[in-house]
Chain A
Amino acid sequence: MAFSDLREFITMLEKSGDLVRIKKEVDWDMEVGAISRRVFEQAGPALLFEKIKDYPPGYAILNGPVATWRRVALALGLPPNSSVRQIYAAYEERRDKKIKPVVVKAAPCQENVMTGSEVDIYRLPAPMVHDGDGGRYVGTWDIVITKDPETGWINWGMYRFMTHTQNLLTGWPQATSQLAMMMKSRYLPLNRPMPIAIVAGCESLCHMVATDPFKPGENEVEYAGGLRGAPVDLVQCKTQDLMVPAHAEIVMEGEVLPDKIAHEGPFGEYPGYRSGTMSEGVLVQLTAITHRTNPILTLSTLGVPPDDSSIAASLTAAIAMKRGLQRRGVPVREVYVPPEGVTHLIVVSVERGGSRVARQVLDFFTARRVMVSKVIVVDKDLDPFDMNQVIHAFATKCHPAKGITVEHYEGRANALTPCFSADERRRLKGASVVFDATWPEDWEEESIPVKSSFETTYRDAVKEKVLANWESYGLGGKS
Protein backbone atom coordinates (compact mmCIF):
# COMPACT_ATOMS: atom_id res chain seq x y z
CA MET A 1 0.00 0.00 0.00
CA ALA A 2 1.42 3.35 -1.02
CA PHE A 3 1.45 6.24 1.38
CA SER A 4 -0.39 9.16 -0.15
CA ASP A 5 1.94 11.71 1.38
CA LEU A 6 4.56 12.36 4.02
CA ARG A 7 1.94 12.96 6.69
CA GLU A 8 0.50 9.49 6.27
CA PHE A 9 4.02 8.05 6.58
CA ILE A 10 4.61 10.11 9.73
CA THR A 11 1.42 8.76 11.27
CA MET A 12 2.51 5.21 10.54
CA LEU A 13 6.01 5.81 11.93
CA GLU A 14 4.50 7.16 15.11
CA LYS A 15 2.27 4.10 15.48
CA SER A 16 5.20 1.75 15.00
CA GLY A 17 7.30 3.61 17.57
CA ASP A 18 9.73 4.89 14.95
CA LEU A 19 9.04 8.62 15.35
CA VAL A 20 9.10 11.06 18.23
CA ARG A 21 7.27 14.39 18.17
CA ILE A 22 9.30 17.11 19.87
CA LYS A 23 6.88 19.70 21.19
CA LYS A 24 9.38 21.79 23.14
CA GLU A 25 10.52 24.86 21.22
CA VAL A 26 13.84 24.30 19.48
CA ASP A 27 16.15 26.70 17.69
CA TRP A 28 16.59 26.18 13.93
CA ASP A 29 20.07 27.59 14.47
CA MET A 30 22.01 24.38 15.27
CA GLU A 31 19.83 23.03 18.08
CA VAL A 32 17.69 21.03 15.62
CA GLY A 33 20.89 19.78 13.98
CA ALA A 34 22.59 18.84 17.23
CA ILE A 35 19.58 16.89 18.50
CA SER A 36 19.16 15.16 15.16
CA ARG A 37 22.81 14.24 14.84
CA ARG A 38 22.92 12.72 18.32
CA VAL A 39 19.79 10.70 17.63
CA PHE A 40 21.25 9.47 14.32
CA GLU A 41 24.37 8.32 16.13
CA GLN A 42 22.16 6.33 18.51
CA ALA A 43 20.22 4.84 15.55
CA GLY A 44 17.19 6.48 17.11
CA PRO A 45 13.78 7.45 15.76
CA ALA A 46 12.75 9.98 13.18
CA LEU A 47 12.18 13.35 14.82
CA LEU A 48 9.32 15.73 14.11
CA PHE A 49 10.18 19.14 15.54
CA GLU A 50 6.81 20.83 15.97
CA LYS A 51 7.77 24.18 17.48
CA ILE A 52 10.55 26.10 15.77
CA LYS A 53 11.91 29.33 17.20
CA ASP A 54 11.08 32.40 15.06
CA TYR A 55 8.43 30.50 13.07
CA PRO A 56 4.65 30.23 13.30
CA PRO A 57 3.04 27.40 15.26
CA GLY A 58 2.51 24.43 12.95
CA TYR A 59 5.68 24.88 10.91
CA ALA A 60 7.72 21.72 11.43
CA ILE A 61 10.98 19.99 10.55
CA LEU A 62 11.22 16.21 10.06
CA ASN A 63 14.69 14.71 10.49
CA GLY A 64 15.59 11.25 9.31
CA PRO A 65 12.50 9.79 7.62
CA VAL A 66 14.39 6.71 6.37
CA ALA A 67 17.55 6.64 8.46
CA THR A 68 17.10 3.10 9.80
CA TRP A 69 16.43 -0.16 8.00
CA ARG A 70 13.17 -0.40 9.97
CA ARG A 71 11.94 2.86 8.50
CA VAL A 72 13.08 1.89 4.99
CA ALA A 73 11.15 -1.37 5.38
CA LEU A 74 8.06 0.52 6.52
CA ALA A 75 8.36 2.95 3.61
CA LEU A 76 8.36 -0.05 1.28
CA GLY A 77 5.35 -1.56 3.04
CA LEU A 78 7.42 -4.42 4.47
CA PRO A 79 7.42 -5.71 8.05
CA PRO A 80 9.66 -3.41 10.10
CA ASN A 81 11.92 -6.26 11.18
CA SER A 82 12.72 -7.32 7.60
CA SER A 83 16.35 -8.23 7.07
CA VAL A 84 18.57 -6.01 4.95
CA ARG A 85 18.66 -8.76 2.32
CA GLN A 86 14.85 -8.87 2.26
CA ILE A 87 14.69 -5.10 1.87
CA TYR A 88 17.21 -5.26 -0.96
CA ALA A 89 15.21 -8.01 -2.65
CA ALA A 90 11.95 -6.09 -2.42
CA TYR A 91 13.53 -2.95 -3.83
CA GLU A 92 15.22 -4.88 -6.62
CA GLU A 93 12.03 -6.67 -7.54
CA ARG A 94 10.10 -3.41 -7.85
CA ARG A 95 12.83 -1.23 -9.30
CA ASP A 96 12.17 -2.00 -12.95
CA LYS A 97 8.46 -1.32 -12.76
CA LYS A 98 7.24 1.94 -14.15
CA ILE A 99 3.90 3.61 -13.52
CA LYS A 100 3.23 6.86 -15.28
CA PRO A 101 2.31 9.80 -13.07
CA VAL A 102 -1.12 11.39 -12.97
CA VAL A 103 -1.46 15.12 -13.52
CA VAL A 104 -3.85 16.92 -11.18
CA LYS A 105 -5.12 20.47 -11.37
CA ALA A 106 -5.20 21.38 -7.68
CA ALA A 107 -2.63 20.28 -5.17
CA PRO A 108 -1.94 20.48 -1.46
CA CYS A 109 1.59 21.70 -2.17
CA GLN A 110 0.07 24.89 -3.58
CA GLU A 111 -2.21 25.74 -0.68
CA ASN A 112 0.07 28.70 0.01
CA VAL A 113 1.86 30.56 -2.76
CA MET A 114 4.54 33.26 -2.76
CA THR A 115 5.51 34.79 -6.09
CA GLY A 116 7.35 37.87 -7.27
CA SER A 117 8.46 40.19 -4.51
CA GLU A 118 6.64 38.07 -1.93
CA VAL A 119 9.14 35.26 -2.36
CA ASP A 120 11.01 34.95 0.91
CA ILE A 121 12.88 31.79 1.79
CA TYR A 122 13.26 33.02 5.35
CA ARG A 123 9.57 32.35 5.88
CA LEU A 124 10.54 28.68 5.98
CA PRO A 125 12.47 27.26 8.95
CA ALA A 126 15.60 26.29 7.04
CA PRO A 127 17.99 25.03 9.70
CA MET A 128 21.62 25.90 10.28
CA VAL A 129 22.45 22.22 10.40
CA HIS A 130 26.06 22.07 11.63
CA ASP A 131 28.27 24.67 13.27
CA GLY A 132 30.64 25.79 10.53
CA ASP A 133 28.34 25.16 7.59
CA GLY A 134 28.28 27.88 4.98
CA GLY A 135 24.67 28.74 5.68
CA ARG A 136 21.17 27.43 6.28
CA TYR A 137 20.41 24.33 4.24
CA VAL A 138 16.85 24.18 2.99
CA GLY A 139 17.66 21.25 0.69
CA THR A 140 19.18 18.23 2.41
CA TRP A 141 16.54 15.54 1.90
CA ASP A 142 14.90 16.92 -1.21
CA ILE A 143 13.99 16.12 -4.79
CA VAL A 144 15.52 18.41 -7.37
CA ILE A 145 13.63 18.44 -10.66
CA THR A 146 15.00 19.67 -13.98
CA LYS A 147 14.00 19.13 -17.59
CA ASP A 148 15.92 18.52 -20.79
CA PRO A 149 14.34 20.95 -23.26
CA GLU A 150 15.28 18.83 -26.28
CA THR A 151 14.27 15.34 -25.20
CA GLY A 152 11.71 16.16 -22.51
CA TRP A 153 13.61 14.04 -20.00
CA ILE A 154 12.63 14.97 -16.45
CA ASN A 155 15.45 14.33 -14.03
CA TRP A 156 14.96 13.84 -10.31
CA GLY A 157 18.06 14.05 -8.17
CA MET A 158 18.97 14.89 -4.61
CA TYR A 159 21.35 17.81 -4.16
CA ARG A 160 22.10 20.23 -1.39
CA PHE A 161 20.74 23.80 -1.47
CA MET A 162 21.46 26.67 0.88
CA THR A 163 19.74 29.98 1.52
CA HIS A 164 21.67 32.92 0.12
CA THR A 165 19.25 35.86 0.22
CA GLN A 166 15.50 35.94 0.56
CA ASN A 167 15.03 34.99 -3.10
CA LEU A 168 18.34 33.37 -4.03
CA LEU A 169 19.61 29.90 -3.20
CA THR A 170 23.02 28.45 -3.87
CA GLY A 171 23.50 24.76 -4.37
CA TRP A 172 26.09 22.16 -5.07
CA PRO A 173 25.07 19.40 -7.41
CA GLN A 174 28.44 17.83 -8.16
CA ALA A 175 30.01 19.00 -11.42
CA THR A 176 29.71 15.43 -12.70
CA SER A 177 26.03 15.03 -11.74
CA GLN A 178 23.15 14.55 -14.14
CA LEU A 179 21.90 18.03 -13.28
CA ALA A 180 25.30 19.44 -14.22
CA MET A 181 25.35 17.43 -17.43
CA MET A 182 21.96 18.85 -18.40
CA MET A 183 22.90 22.43 -17.53
CA LYS A 184 26.21 22.22 -19.37
CA SER A 185 24.86 20.60 -22.51
CA ARG A 186 21.45 22.22 -22.93
CA TYR A 187 21.38 25.58 -21.21
CA LEU A 188 24.88 27.01 -20.86
CA PRO A 189 25.67 26.94 -24.60
CA LEU A 190 22.62 29.18 -25.13
CA ASN A 191 23.27 31.23 -21.98
CA ARG A 192 19.76 30.30 -20.84
CA PRO A 193 18.62 29.80 -17.26
CA MET A 194 17.52 26.26 -16.40
CA PRO A 195 14.12 25.87 -14.72
CA ILE A 196 14.40 24.02 -11.44
CA ALA A 197 12.10 22.89 -8.66
CA ILE A 198 13.49 21.93 -5.27
CA VAL A 199 10.92 19.85 -3.47
CA ALA A 200 10.82 18.93 0.21
CA GLY A 201 8.53 16.69 2.18
CA CYS A 202 7.37 14.04 -0.25
CA GLU A 203 6.32 10.51 0.46
CA SER A 204 9.59 8.74 1.28
CA LEU A 205 9.90 6.44 -1.73
CA CYS A 206 9.93 9.49 -4.00
CA HIS A 207 12.95 10.83 -2.14
CA MET A 208 14.64 7.43 -2.27
CA VAL A 209 14.17 7.27 -6.03
CA ALA A 210 15.89 10.67 -6.25
CA THR A 211 18.98 9.05 -4.69
CA ASP A 212 18.90 6.15 -7.16
CA PRO A 213 21.41 6.63 -9.98
CA PHE A 214 19.09 5.82 -12.86
CA LYS A 215 20.59 6.31 -16.29
CA PRO A 216 20.26 9.69 -18.01
CA GLY A 217 17.01 9.84 -19.93
CA GLU A 218 15.05 7.81 -17.41
CA ASN A 219 12.13 9.60 -15.75
CA GLU A 220 12.49 8.81 -12.08
CA VAL A 221 8.89 9.75 -11.35
CA GLU A 222 7.74 6.66 -13.25
CA TYR A 223 10.03 4.47 -11.16
CA ALA A 224 8.70 6.14 -8.02
CA GLY A 225 5.26 5.07 -9.16
CA GLY A 226 6.50 1.54 -9.72
CA LEU A 227 8.10 1.36 -6.30
CA ARG A 228 4.98 2.71 -4.65
CA GLY A 229 2.66 0.52 -6.69
CA ALA A 230 0.63 3.64 -7.44
CA PRO A 231 1.17 6.66 -9.64
CA VAL A 232 2.67 9.84 -8.28
CA ASP A 233 0.29 12.79 -8.55
CA LEU A 234 1.96 15.73 -10.23
CA VAL A 235 0.94 19.35 -10.54
CA GLN A 236 2.20 22.10 -12.79
CA CYS A 237 4.52 24.58 -11.09
CA LYS A 238 3.19 28.11 -10.69
CA THR A 239 6.07 29.86 -12.43
CA GLN A 240 8.16 27.20 -14.20
CA ASP A 241 7.47 24.63 -16.91
CA LEU A 242 7.95 21.73 -14.53
CA MET A 243 5.72 19.20 -12.81
CA VAL A 244 6.16 18.53 -9.11
CA PRO A 245 4.67 16.00 -6.67
CA ALA A 246 1.26 17.36 -5.74
CA HIS A 247 1.41 16.12 -2.16
CA ALA A 248 4.82 17.60 -1.38
CA GLU A 249 5.09 19.82 1.65
CA ILE A 250 7.22 22.57 0.06
CA VAL A 251 8.19 23.48 -3.52
CA MET A 252 10.83 26.07 -4.34
CA GLU A 253 10.56 27.09 -7.98
CA GLY A 254 13.30 28.94 -9.75
CA GLU A 255 16.00 29.09 -12.38
CA VAL A 256 19.65 28.08 -12.29
CA LEU A 257 21.38 31.18 -13.59
CA PRO A 258 23.85 30.66 -16.45
CA ASP A 259 25.96 33.75 -15.84
CA LYS A 260 25.97 34.48 -12.11
CA ILE A 261 27.43 32.62 -9.15
CA ALA A 262 27.73 33.16 -5.43
CA HIS A 263 29.10 31.68 -2.25
CA GLU A 264 27.97 28.13 -1.36
CA GLY A 265 29.07 25.72 1.33
CA PRO A 266 30.85 24.19 3.02
CA PHE A 267 28.49 21.57 4.44
CA GLY A 268 28.90 18.53 6.67
CA GLU A 269 28.29 16.00 3.93
CA TYR A 270 27.30 12.35 3.58
CA PRO A 271 30.82 10.89 3.84
CA GLY A 272 30.81 12.17 7.41
CA TYR A 273 33.06 15.19 7.02
CA ARG A 274 32.95 18.80 6.00
CA SER A 275 35.58 18.14 3.41
CA GLY A 276 35.84 21.57 1.90
CA THR A 277 33.80 21.67 -1.28
CA MET A 278 32.80 25.30 -1.40
CA SER A 279 31.88 28.09 -3.78
CA GLU A 280 31.94 26.03 -6.94
CA GLY A 281 28.21 25.48 -7.30
CA VAL A 282 25.16 27.06 -8.82
CA LEU A 283 22.97 30.08 -8.09
CA VAL A 284 19.20 29.76 -8.21
CA GLN A 285 16.86 32.70 -8.61
CA LEU A 286 13.64 31.76 -6.83
CA THR A 287 10.47 32.65 -8.71
CA ALA A 288 7.95 31.07 -6.37
CA ILE A 289 7.64 29.18 -3.11
CA THR A 290 4.55 27.09 -2.58
CA HIS A 291 3.73 25.00 0.45
CA ARG A 292 1.07 23.16 2.33
CA THR A 293 -0.52 24.81 5.30
CA ASN A 294 1.68 24.02 8.31
CA PRO A 295 4.53 22.82 6.09
CA ILE A 296 6.98 20.11 7.14
CA LEU A 297 10.54 20.61 5.93
CA THR A 298 12.38 17.33 5.50
CA LEU A 299 15.92 17.30 6.82
CA SER A 300 18.76 14.84 6.93
CA THR A 301 21.43 16.03 9.34
CA LEU A 302 24.18 14.35 7.38
CA GLY A 303 27.40 13.22 8.98
CA VAL A 304 28.94 10.02 10.22
CA PRO A 305 26.67 7.04 9.58
CA PRO A 306 23.94 6.07 10.05
CA ASP A 307 21.65 8.63 8.49
CA ASP A 308 19.19 8.72 5.59
CA SER A 309 21.96 8.87 3.05
CA SER A 310 24.05 6.01 4.37
CA ILE A 311 21.02 3.76 4.85
CA ALA A 312 18.57 4.51 2.06
CA ALA A 313 21.08 5.58 -0.54
CA SER A 314 23.14 2.48 0.09
CA LEU A 315 20.10 0.43 -0.89
CA THR A 316 19.39 2.36 -4.06
CA ALA A 317 23.06 2.49 -5.02
CA ALA A 318 23.58 -1.22 -4.45
CA ILE A 319 20.78 -2.31 -6.74
CA ALA A 320 21.83 0.14 -9.44
CA MET A 321 25.42 -1.13 -9.20
CA LYS A 322 24.29 -4.73 -9.43
CA ARG A 323 22.33 -3.96 -12.58
CA GLY A 324 25.28 -2.10 -14.06
CA LEU A 325 27.68 -4.96 -13.34
CA GLN A 326 25.25 -7.42 -14.90
CA ARG A 327 25.05 -5.29 -18.04
CA ARG A 328 28.85 -5.37 -18.25
CA GLY A 329 28.87 -9.15 -18.12
CA VAL A 330 30.36 -9.42 -14.63
CA PRO A 331 29.23 -12.68 -13.00
CA VAL A 332 27.79 -10.76 -10.06
CA ARG A 333 25.58 -12.44 -7.47
CA GLU A 334 24.97 -9.69 -4.97
CA VAL A 335 26.18 -6.18 -4.17
CA TYR A 336 26.15 -4.85 -0.64
CA VAL A 337 26.83 -1.23 0.23
CA PRO A 338 27.55 -1.24 3.97
CA PRO A 339 26.14 1.94 5.53
CA GLU A 340 29.37 2.37 7.49
CA GLY A 341 31.17 2.78 4.16
CA VAL A 342 28.97 5.74 3.09
CA THR A 343 28.86 4.50 -0.54
CA HIS A 344 32.65 4.72 -0.73
CA LEU A 345 33.12 1.03 0.10
CA ILE A 346 31.29 -1.64 -1.87
CA VAL A 347 31.15 -5.40 -1.49
CA VAL A 348 30.60 -7.37 -4.68
CA SER A 349 29.91 -11.08 -4.51
CA VAL A 350 30.63 -13.02 -7.71
CA GLU A 351 29.89 -16.47 -9.07
CA ARG A 352 33.55 -16.98 -9.90
CA GLY A 353 36.39 -14.73 -8.98
CA GLY A 354 39.93 -14.11 -10.04
CA SER A 355 41.91 -11.13 -11.20
CA ARG A 356 40.11 -10.81 -14.51
CA VAL A 357 36.74 -10.46 -12.85
CA ALA A 358 38.15 -8.06 -10.26
CA ARG A 359 39.46 -5.90 -13.10
CA GLN A 360 36.05 -5.96 -14.78
CA VAL A 361 34.49 -4.78 -11.54
CA LEU A 362 36.99 -1.93 -11.20
CA ASP A 363 36.43 -0.92 -14.82
CA PHE A 364 32.71 -0.66 -14.19
CA PHE A 365 33.14 1.57 -11.16
CA THR A 366 35.63 3.90 -12.84
CA ALA A 367 34.17 4.15 -16.34
CA ARG A 368 32.33 7.44 -15.88
CA ARG A 369 31.78 9.65 -12.83
CA VAL A 370 33.39 7.81 -9.95
CA MET A 371 31.62 7.88 -6.61
CA VAL A 372 33.23 4.73 -5.18
CA SER A 373 36.81 4.47 -4.01
CA LYS A 374 37.10 0.94 -2.58
CA VAL A 375 35.59 -2.32 -3.78
CA ILE A 376 35.99 -5.72 -2.18
CA VAL A 377 35.21 -8.65 -4.47
CA VAL A 378 34.28 -11.85 -2.66
CA ASP A 379 33.46 -15.41 -3.61
CA LYS A 380 29.95 -16.79 -3.48
CA ASP A 381 30.78 -18.96 -0.46
CA LEU A 382 30.19 -16.12 1.93
CA ASP A 383 27.35 -13.78 2.80
CA PRO A 384 28.29 -10.32 1.50
CA PHE A 385 25.84 -8.72 3.93
CA ASP A 386 27.84 -10.15 6.86
CA MET A 387 30.80 -7.81 7.29
CA ASN A 388 32.46 -10.27 9.69
CA GLN A 389 32.72 -12.72 6.82
CA VAL A 390 33.73 -9.99 4.37
CA ILE A 391 36.55 -8.73 6.59
CA HIS A 392 37.74 -12.30 7.15
CA ALA A 393 37.88 -12.90 3.42
CA PHE A 394 39.59 -9.57 2.79
CA ALA A 395 42.16 -10.27 5.48
CA THR A 396 42.97 -13.78 4.34
CA LYS A 397 42.26 -14.06 0.63
CA CYS A 398 43.31 -10.70 -0.78
CA HIS A 399 46.94 -11.01 -1.87
CA PRO A 400 48.79 -7.92 -0.59
CA ALA A 401 50.60 -7.49 -3.90
CA LYS A 402 48.69 -9.34 -6.61
CA GLY A 403 45.20 -8.89 -5.19
CA ILE A 404 45.08 -5.12 -5.34
CA THR A 405 44.47 -3.08 -8.49
CA VAL A 406 44.35 0.71 -8.55
CA GLU A 407 42.85 2.94 -11.22
CA HIS A 408 43.75 6.63 -11.33
CA TYR A 409 41.59 9.24 -13.05
CA GLU A 410 41.04 12.97 -13.37
CA GLY A 411 37.97 15.02 -14.12
CA ARG A 412 35.43 12.56 -12.76
CA ALA A 413 36.31 11.81 -9.14
CA ASN A 414 34.00 12.26 -6.19
CA ALA A 415 34.80 15.73 -4.89
CA LEU A 416 33.54 14.72 -1.45
CA THR A 417 35.98 11.87 -0.84
CA PRO A 418 37.77 13.03 2.31
CA CYS A 419 41.09 11.27 1.65
CA PHE A 420 41.61 13.19 -1.58
CA SER A 421 43.60 16.39 -1.08
CA ALA A 422 41.94 19.77 -1.55
CA ASP A 423 43.73 20.10 -4.88
CA GLU A 424 42.61 16.64 -5.99
CA ARG A 425 39.02 17.36 -5.02
CA ARG A 426 39.05 20.59 -7.02
CA ARG A 427 40.47 18.84 -10.08
CA LEU A 428 38.17 15.85 -9.58
CA LYS A 429 41.29 13.76 -9.48
CA GLY A 430 41.33 10.51 -7.59
CA ALA A 431 41.81 6.79 -7.56
CA SER A 432 39.79 3.69 -6.88
CA VAL A 433 41.00 0.33 -5.76
CA VAL A 434 39.64 -3.17 -6.04
CA PHE A 435 40.59 -5.73 -3.42
CA ASP A 436 40.30 -9.18 -4.90
CA ALA A 437 39.27 -11.40 -1.99
CA THR A 438 38.50 -14.37 -4.22
CA TRP A 439 40.60 -17.37 -5.03
CA PRO A 440 42.62 -17.03 -8.23
CA GLU A 441 40.84 -18.66 -11.14
CA ASP A 442 43.94 -20.60 -12.18
CA TRP A 443 44.39 -22.38 -8.86
CA GLU A 444 43.61 -26.06 -8.96
CA GLU A 445 40.79 -27.01 -6.65
CA GLU A 446 42.99 -29.34 -4.62
CA SER A 447 45.32 -26.47 -3.78
CA ILE A 448 42.62 -24.06 -2.60
CA PRO A 449 42.70 -23.75 1.21
CA VAL A 450 39.66 -25.25 2.90
CA LYS A 451 37.71 -22.90 5.09
CA SER A 452 37.55 -24.15 8.67
CA SER A 453 34.02 -23.39 9.67
CA PHE A 454 31.22 -25.53 11.00
CA GLU A 455 29.43 -25.33 7.68
CA THR A 456 32.38 -26.17 5.46
CA THR A 457 34.55 -28.53 7.50
CA TYR A 458 32.24 -31.32 8.63
CA ARG A 459 30.31 -33.95 6.78
CA ASP A 460 26.54 -33.59 6.72
CA ALA A 461 26.02 -36.56 9.01
CA VAL A 462 28.17 -35.01 11.71
CA LYS A 463 26.51 -31.61 11.39
CA GLU A 464 23.03 -33.12 11.52
CA LYS A 465 23.92 -35.10 14.62
CA VAL A 466 25.39 -32.08 16.37
CA LEU A 467 22.41 -29.90 15.54
CA ALA A 468 19.96 -32.59 16.60
CA ASN A 469 21.68 -32.97 19.95
CA TRP A 470 22.47 -29.33 20.51
CA GLU A 471 20.03 -28.83 23.36
CA SER A 472 21.08 -32.04 25.07
CA TYR A 473 24.68 -30.78 25.23
CA GLY A 474 23.36 -28.13 27.59
CA LEU A 475 23.96 -25.40 25.01
CA GLY A 476 20.44 -23.96 24.94
CA GLY A 477 17.86 -24.06 22.17
CA LYS A 478 18.66 -25.05 18.62
CA SER A 479 20.74 -22.42 16.92
Chain B
Amino acid sequence: MKREYVTFVRRLSDLSEGKRALFIKDLTPGPRKYDTKLVRAELSRDAARLPDGDTLWIRSETGRLQPQPWSMKVLEELPPYVPGQPWQDVFTSLRHLG
Protein backbone atom coordinates (compact mmCIF):
# COMPACT_ATOMS: atom_id res chain seq x y z
CA MET B 1 0.00 0.00 0.00
CA LYS B 2 1.27 3.44 -0.92
CA ARG B 3 2.36 5.64 1.94
CA GLU B 4 1.96 9.40 1.91
CA TYR B 5 4.63 11.95 2.75
CA VAL B 6 5.05 15.70 2.56
CA THR B 7 8.17 17.71 1.84
CA PHE B 8 8.89 21.44 1.98
CA VAL B 9 10.76 23.48 -0.60
CA ARG B 10 11.67 27.16 -0.80
CA ARG B 11 9.81 27.53 -4.08
CA LEU B 12 7.61 24.97 -5.72
CA SER B 13 9.74 25.42 -8.83
CA ASP B 14 12.86 24.36 -6.90
CA LEU B 15 11.96 20.71 -7.00
CA SER B 16 13.05 18.71 -10.03
CA GLU B 17 12.52 15.13 -11.03
CA GLY B 18 15.23 12.50 -10.59
CA LYS B 19 17.33 11.36 -7.67
CA ARG B 20 17.91 13.70 -4.75
CA ALA B 21 18.16 13.97 -0.98
CA LEU B 22 15.19 15.48 0.81
CA PHE B 23 13.49 15.64 4.18
CA ILE B 24 10.10 13.92 4.18
CA LYS B 25 7.39 13.79 6.82
CA ASP B 26 5.38 10.64 7.24
CA LEU B 27 1.62 11.32 6.97
CA THR B 28 0.56 7.92 8.30
CA PRO B 29 -2.13 8.62 10.93
CA GLY B 30 -1.24 7.97 14.55
CA PRO B 31 0.92 9.44 17.30
CA ARG B 32 4.03 9.40 15.08
CA LYS B 33 2.45 11.29 12.20
CA TYR B 34 4.79 13.97 10.77
CA ASP B 35 7.91 12.09 11.92
CA THR B 36 10.74 13.26 9.68
CA LYS B 37 13.23 11.25 7.67
CA LEU B 38 16.09 12.29 5.45
CA VAL B 39 16.11 10.10 2.39
CA ARG B 40 17.67 9.78 -0.98
CA ALA B 41 14.79 9.21 -3.33
CA GLU B 42 13.74 9.20 -6.92
CA LEU B 43 11.00 11.69 -7.71
CA SER B 44 8.60 11.97 -10.58
CA ARG B 45 5.62 14.12 -11.38
CA ASP B 46 4.11 11.13 -13.12
CA ALA B 47 3.01 8.32 -10.81
CA ALA B 48 3.01 5.89 -13.74
CA ARG B 49 6.79 6.25 -14.03
CA LEU B 50 7.26 5.03 -10.45
CA PRO B 51 4.57 2.37 -10.10
CA ASP B 52 5.91 1.16 -6.76
CA GLY B 53 6.43 4.67 -5.48
CA ASP B 54 4.78 6.48 -2.61
CA THR B 55 2.81 9.71 -2.74
CA LEU B 56 4.74 12.92 -2.04
CA TRP B 57 2.87 16.11 -1.30
CA ILE B 58 4.83 19.32 -1.71
CA ARG B 59 4.54 22.55 0.23
CA SER B 60 6.33 25.84 -0.27
CA GLU B 61 8.16 27.79 2.42
CA THR B 62 4.91 29.58 3.25
CA GLY B 63 3.26 26.19 3.63
CA ARG B 64 1.19 26.45 0.45
CA LEU B 65 0.25 23.04 -0.87
CA GLN B 66 0.89 22.14 -4.48
CA PRO B 67 -2.42 20.71 -5.69
CA GLN B 68 -0.98 17.64 -7.42
CA PRO B 69 1.29 15.27 -5.51
CA TRP B 70 4.38 13.70 -7.01
CA SER B 71 5.50 10.13 -6.82
CA MET B 72 8.55 9.12 -4.80
CA LYS B 73 10.58 5.96 -4.44
CA VAL B 74 12.83 5.94 -1.39
CA LEU B 75 16.25 4.58 -2.33
CA GLU B 76 18.06 5.04 0.95
CA GLU B 77 17.32 6.36 4.42
CA LEU B 78 20.00 8.69 5.80
CA PRO B 79 20.60 10.05 9.30
CA PRO B 80 17.90 12.71 9.86
CA TYR B 81 20.17 15.75 9.61
CA VAL B 82 22.69 17.39 7.32
CA PRO B 83 26.08 18.93 8.12
CA GLY B 84 25.91 22.60 8.91
CA GLN B 85 25.98 25.22 11.61
CA PRO B 86 22.88 26.59 13.32
CA TRP B 87 21.04 29.20 11.23
CA GLN B 88 22.64 28.03 8.01
CA ASP B 89 20.36 27.23 5.10
CA VAL B 90 19.38 23.58 5.24
CA PHE B 91 18.63 23.48 1.51
CA THR B 92 22.18 24.49 0.64
CA SER B 93 23.47 21.57 2.70
CA LEU B 94 20.95 19.26 1.09
CA ARG B 95 22.19 20.22 -2.36
CA HIS B 96 25.69 19.22 -1.33
CA LEU B 97 24.37 15.79 -0.40
CA GLY B 98 23.16 15.43 -3.96
Contacts and interface: CB of A to CB of B under 8 A. Distances in A.
Q: Are the chains A and B members of one assembly?
A: yes
Interface of A: 29, 54-55, 122-123, 128, 130-136, 163-166, 168, 175, 180, 183-184, 188, 256-266, 268, 274-283, 422
Interface stretch (B40-48, B68-76, B86-94): B86-94
Interface residues of B, number: 34
B30 to A, nearest CB: 6
A165 B30 contact: no
Interface string B16-51: 000000010100011111111110000000000000
Closest 10 CB pairs of A and B: A132-B63, A279-B90, A261-B84, A263-B23, A260-B81, A54-B31, A282-B86, A278-B61, A276-B61, A262-B81
B61 A168 contact: no
A55 B31 contact: yes
Contacts of B64: 132
Contact of A135 (B34, B62, B81, B88): B34
A263 B8 CA distance: 8
B86 A164 contact: no
Contacts of B36: 135, 164-165, 262-263
A295 to B, nearest CB: 15
Contacts of A188: 85-86
Nearest to B25: A135
A276 B8 CA distance: 11
Chain A's interface: helix, strand, loop or mixed, by majority? Answer: loop
A117 to B, nearest CB: 16
Q: Give the residue among A55, A123, A256, A259 with the most B Cβ atoms within 10 A.
A: A259
A344 B82 CA distance: 34
B33 A29 contact: yes
Given A263-B23, A280-B90, A275 B83 contact: no
Contact of A261 (B25, B37, B65, B86): B86
A261 B62 contact: no
Contacts of B85: 188, 258-259, 261
Given A130-B63, A163-B35, A261-B81, 20 more contacts: A29-B33, A132-B62, A135-B34, A165-B35, A168-B81, A175-B87, A257-B81, A257-B86, A260-B82, A261-B84, A261-B86, A261-B90, A263-B36, A264-B90, A268-B63, A278-B8, A278-B61, A279-B8, A281-B86, A422-B61
A55 to B, nearest CB: 7
A273 B65 CA distance: 16
Contacts of A133: 63
A165 B80 contact: yes
Contacts of B34: 128, 135-136, 163
Contact of A259 (B10, B25, B61, B84): B84
A280 B87 contact: yes
Given A163-B34, A164-B36, A262 B59 contact: no
A274 B87 contact: no
B62 A262 contact: no
A278 B33 CA distance: 20
A132 B59 contact: yes
Nearest to A28: B31
A266 B86 contact: no
Given A165-B36, A266-B61, A275-B62, A134 B90 contact: no
A262 B35 contact: no
Nearest to A264: B90
14 contacts: A55-B31, A130-B63, A131-B63, A132-B62, A134-B8, A135-B34, A136-B34, A260-B82, A261-B82, A261-B90, A262-B90, A263-B8, A266-B8, A283-B81
Nearest to B35: A165
B30 A262 contact: no
Q: Give the residue among B38, B82, B86 with the most A Cβ atoms within 10 A.
A: B86
